[in-house]
Chains A and B, each alone.
Chain A
């Protein structure tokens, strides 16, 4: 193919990718969107394989076969609860691929038509080091995020003195090394950039607590896009540049939405030190105040006599894998003529949209599931709010106490419902370490226990 046709094919691939994202505006068009994405990828790969310089088909197909097999197995076997880890792991692979391509381009620039070894254009060198640096940051940052989400390391924020000055020094060193690379073209500067970037990726994510992972996952998604962009400039490949920009914006917008869902700035999240995993277990709240405790039978009785029940699922539901039992409960209630809806807080779960996927997995129809702004006004007319494994996102302190760390965070107004049922393991506070005074109100009933077990007991009581 001539250069023009190649360029045109890459453009078609990029348009397919835009259509893939566009499809996600509604669940009905989303599957077609995904198909467009696959078509775009096939076009891009085929076009590259037709390049006259590309002759090593055996090696290439071996790589695709090995990688494709692993990817397919993982995609079919992964448990939906573990999606956030999977996405983090995938991000790390994109980051690593960007680093590898940058290394290849540095040692063999002829393959990309950007000069010869030791004689690469200035712009290409700068683009290459940006691609390599962002790729390396994406890789090590995603590995840390994966380890935290998978529970391989503690989700607690790791903070140490002079953390931020150290990061700043490394950042300046990377810029200085890029300048050195442009003037010297020497491999030492190049590898130093790569190694320091691996280090800084690790250092950026390590202070961020487990509960801030929705932001981290989105942010790393954004980084992986910018890394692809950097490589796209090096390769003068428009498909890569457009795709990188799309992915970069997607991640940035998701990070913004997640931060807004917690009323925190992205800098506040990045500075870290907020929200460990163990806070909930260690802090027993309440002191002498008493709560009204109920049984599964009580809950079944209250809900079967209600007209409308709004279910508020949180990360606790995901951990306990309670979504299937929850859907059974909702089905029985619907048979009794109760109107059941689900309310999702933007930061529920460990990645954006995680709760929606888990509910969909349990065959909850998506038109029964609502976002915070859509449903918040309905709590005042609902008879029961059934909170399962969520806490901070319902805490009225976010509205009333300016000194609280969660002040200003949008919350689901479960306090306005006739009765609020909290299904929790204990009275412990949420990740923010704040007591939820809703637990002690007259209209509240606490159901203590494992979310899945308790939901199953309620199902039995309803039968």
Chain B
């Protein structure tokens, strides 16, 4: 499962070159508007996270593949953050527009998933016991 260090580095260099190109093609506008992190910055995080995910998930024991599915389900509901930001600006019911309504619905759906996902994972894991 080890990746040769040079190949790995070369890969990352290539990735960042591609990202640079993509950024100069498309991302410049965004950076100008937001002043937030650049596309390259986010893309670097993304690529590194893929590698982390790859190694962490391969180390998961096959016996726990069902809990893996349900817990990834729960954590991917961190998309609730997007819903919160969309629902956030509407202080009163009168302020609710299409976006905050969408945000409210996203928060509701993601909450089903967060509570349901973590609890069902907990229920499953509690059943796994060693020989007495």
Residues of A whose CB lies within 8 Å of any CB of B are 13-14, 17-18, 20-22, 24-28, 30-31, 33-34, 37-38, 40-41, 44-45, 48-49, 51, 53-56, 59-60, 62-72, 74-76, 78, 80, 83, 86-87, 90-91, 93-94, 96-98, 100-101, 103-105, 107-108, 111-115, 121-124, 126, 217-218, 221, 224-225, 227-229, 231-251, 253-254, 257, 344, 346, 351-354, 356-357, 360-361, 363, 365-369, 371
Binding site secondary structure of chain B: helix
Scoring B66, B95, B117 by chain A CB atoms within 10 A of each residue's CB, the highest score goes to B66
Q: State whether the Cβ of B89 lies closer than 8 Å to any Cβ in chain A.
A: yes
For A241, the chain B residues whose CB sits under 8 A away are 42, 45-46, 49
Q: Are B85 and A31 in contact (CB under 8 A)?
A: no
Interchain Cβ contacts under 8 Å between A and B, 9 examples: A21-B71, A41-B75, A44-B80, A67-B108, A78-B120, A94-B110, A238-B45, A241-B49, A352-B66
With A56-B87, A71-B114: A240-B73 Cβ-Cβ less than 8 Å: no
Scoring B72, B88, B118 by chain A CB atoms within 10 A of each residue's CB, the highest score goes to B72
Contact of B57 among A33, A53, A56, A253 (CB under 8 A): A253
Scoring B37, B39, B45, B107 by chain A CB atoms within 10 A of each residue's CB, the highest score goes to B107
Closest residue of B by beta carbon distance from A239? B78
Q: Are B79 and A231 in contact (CB under 8 A)?
A: yes
Q: Are B60 and A24 in contact (CB under 8 A)?
A: yes
Q: Are B86 and A104 in contact (CB under 8 A)?
A: yes
Residues of B whose CB lies within 8 Å of any CB of A are 23, 26-27, 29-30, 32-37, 39, 42, 45-46, 49-50, 52-54, 56-93, 95-100, 102-132
With A245-B46, A249-B50: A40-B75 Cβ-Cβ less than 8 Å: yes
With A75-B123, A236-B34: A18-B56 Cβ-Cβ less than 8 Å: yes
Contact of B120 among A86, A97, A107, A248 (CB under 8 A): A86
Closest residue of B by beta carbon distance from A226? B76
Bound-state CA distance A412–B71 (Å) is: 29
For A17, the chain B residues whose CB sits under 8 A away are 75, 78
